[in-house]
Structure 1
């Protein structure tokens, strides 16, 4: 925290607020963790993201105005991955000159707690259709092809599990952590079933994915339709 605060004071002496988020703020940092620092300015310089070394730490620096913070939070809502909202909401306030640091922290934290918007019918059908095709591909695959398909399939199935229940999604290890959090809250074991299925050379991944699909109408192929967006017509 001292290093993060000093960086802000040195590089952005006119900052309105700053937050330290990510694994260091959560208390689960590893030896390779960096400092995720978000800085709020009134205006110039333009919103930006950059990586640097400071005080012996790797730093991911996110420089914003209130307008750009809202823009990226809205993007979080659209993709149902609360990256920016968590960087500010689940953080330690490093600097707060006018009360906006605490205000925005609480506002984003409330948005995270509320969860994402529900899937539309088209979004749900597209996920079911995509997963159905991957399941068909997996049934006939082996070796490297099976590994490649399984690595995509578990992620799409996890996104259906999470977003279908209005739970936030993620990418990579973040996606797996969201499934673990879902399991913890609901007393399920989807994370273990999906990961065991990816590693196995049997039908266990198919069983695990079909279990997730069953809660949302099962597999979908015949009858699937998806209209082109207005800009493509």
Structure 2
């Protein structure tokens, strides 16, 4: 953690939110992996209005993302993210440096969110796994059938994401978006001695070089962990079918 980041974040919160109940600095500057593009992810807890809102700004050399919440809005985000198995806000508060804590809520909520993060997501249902298998199978068929280089590359990117999310969900792990998807897969690799965080990006690069073989092999291997490809006999309720049909145009 860079002390400059903490100092800048603390001063910014005091300047913009003198009545904040609590504030936390999360993200890469706290958990590690800072790059030249890293920003300050600051969550601020207010008693009421103007929260909730989000604001982006710059302070010195730092880009800043400010997530301004009430306790009720913060808990709604927490509930929704846990249901989606993508705990962005839960991470930002649970794995954070407390910047301000006027009433004890800063340390209380950080401890709560860290417990939720460590507990992991709820196990997936059989329907969720079957739906993921069906969607990935559909993409895989499209990849194999496509004769358009640009289409294959875009399908491969979607496959790497879908297969990676199935892998994490099937093993009871959190998912993520962008860099966090790879970080969660890398964490799974460390736990099980696998190499998916290397293989899936490498498979996308292979498709870009006009070789779909590694992507087909990697996807089939992940699918096989959870029952294999799925098409024949797959059924959904009407509301689910409409959603899935939108991706199969």
For the superposition of Structure 1 and Structure 2, which TM-score range results when normalised by the shorter chain? over 0.9
Which of 76, 79, 83 is the aligned partner of 1:78? Answer: 83
Distance 1:220 1:53 in 2: 48
Q: How many residues align?
A: 231
What CA distance in whole angstroms lies between the structure 2 residues aligned with 1:209 and 1:79?
22
* Aligned: 1:35 with 2:40: yes
Tell me whether 1:164 sits opposite 2:170 in the alignment.
yes
Distance 2:79 2:91 in 1: 13
1:176 paired with 2:186, answer no
Structure 1, gaps ≥5 residues long: none
- 1:90 is matched with 95
Counterpart check, 1:213 vs 2:223: yes
Post-superposition, which runs of at least 4 consecutive aligned residues in structure 1 deviate over 6 A? none
Shift of 1:229: 3.5
Q: Distance in 2 between matches of 1:214 and 1:195?
A: 19
SS in 1 for 2:172: coil
Conserved in 1, the CA contact under 8 Å of 2:24 and 2:99? yes
Q: CA deviation at 1:56?
A: 3.4
Question: SS of 1:71's equivalent?
Answer: helix
**Is 1:9 equivalent to 2:14 in the alignment?**
yes
Q: Does 1:119 align with 2:129?
A: no
Partner SS state of residue 36, structure 2: coil
- The equivalent position to 1:51 in structure 2, one of 56, 65, 83, is 56
- Report the TM-score, using the length of structure 1 for normalisation: 0.95
Which of 60, 63, 77 pairs up with 2:65? 60
CA distance in 1, matches of 2:74, 2:200: 34
Aligned counterparts of 1:55 and 1:148: Cα–Cα separation in 2: 37
How much does 1:73 deviate? 0.7
C-alpha separation between the residues in 2 aligned to 1:41 and 1:170?
27
CA deviations 1:16-39 (Å, max 9, x no partner) are: 110000011123211121110000
TM-score, length-scaled by structure 2: 0.89
Matched, 1:223 2:223: no
Tell me, in whole angstroms, the C-alpha distance in 1 between the residues paired with 2:237 and 2:117.
31
